[in-house]
Amino acid sequence: MSDKETMQVYAGAAATYAEKFARIDDIDVDQFSDLTAFFDLLPDGGLVLDLGCGPGQWAAKIRTAGYRVEAMDASPEMADLAKEAFDLDVTVGTFDTLEAVARFDGIWANFSLLHAPKAELPRHLERIKTALKPSGAFHLGMKLGDGEARDHLGRFYSYYSEADLVGLLETAGFTVSRTRTGSSVGLAGSNDTFVILTAHD
């Protein structure tokens, strides 16, 4: 994510976002099932990258479950919050910063790649696949819908159907093992539908 307007929104709202959405003990049964599906594809003590970690709550949950964790976010403000709240070592960088080769046992991209333009998503998925070890696990959370748009806060979003995302993942060489749809209220206050996909190399 490097869209200037989106970055400005997160810079200004980082503390509010963390207060509302980064409580490590705030997890519902469906989110727990997302973690479980991801963990089922990981080796014991495996290395996981939280790609677009935000204020760090998911990286902290994954670490608490016994996995080694690295984290990356494009927002310096979010990275600082993750370091302060959860003592995470966070790299500040965009999706294009990911240059690892066969390093990670799993990559967790929970509602981060939705800020990438549609034209760029295929190459981001290629980078992710390259960064994963053989049989590596991939978690992807995206909003459902059509086209590209900004929310009333100014953040850029790309919207997809579940079938579109399954197709993009398969084209990139992934096998999708699980999908889940739902809805939730985010920072903008709107109740948005989403899809969670669990896949492996």
For residues 81 and 139, is the Cβ–Cβ distance under 8 A? no
Q: Would you state the torsion angle of the CA atoms of residues 96, 184, 26, 129, taken in this order, to the nearest 10 degrees?
A: -30
Q: What is the pLDDT of residue 56?
A: 94
Q: Which of 194, 198, 127 is nearest to 157 (CA)?
A: 194
Name every residue whose Cβ is closer than 8 Å to that of residue 14 and which is 6 or more positions away in sequence. 55, 75, 77, 78, 80, 81
Q: What is the pLDDT along the chain (201 residues), one digit of tens a residue?
A: 567 888 787 777 666 766 666 665 666 678 999 999 999 999 999 999 999 999 999 999 999 999 999 999 999 999 999 999 999 989 999 999 999 999 999 999 999 999 999 999 999 999 999 999 999 999 999 999 999 999 889 889 999 999 999 999 999 999 999 999 999 887 767 789 999 999 998
Q: What is the pLDDT of residue 48?
A: 98
Specify the pLDDT at position 23: 62
Q: Would you state the pLDDT for residue 188?
A: 67
pTM score > 0.85 for this model?
A: yes
Q: Which residues contact 4 (CB under 8 A, 6 or more apart)?
A: none
Q: What is the CATH number of the domain that holds 149?
A: 3.40.50.150
Total count of domains within the chain: 1
Residue 69 in contact with residue 88, Cβ under 8 Å?
yes
Domain membership of residue 59 as a residue range:
4-200
For residue 180, the surrounding DSSP H or E stretch is: strand 175-185
Task: Indicate the DSSP class of residue 119.
Answer: G
DSSP-assigned letters across all residues of 24-69: TT---HHHHHHHHHHHTTSPTT-EEEEET-TTSHHHHHHHHTT-EE
According to DSSP, the residues that pair with 70 across neighbouring strands are 49
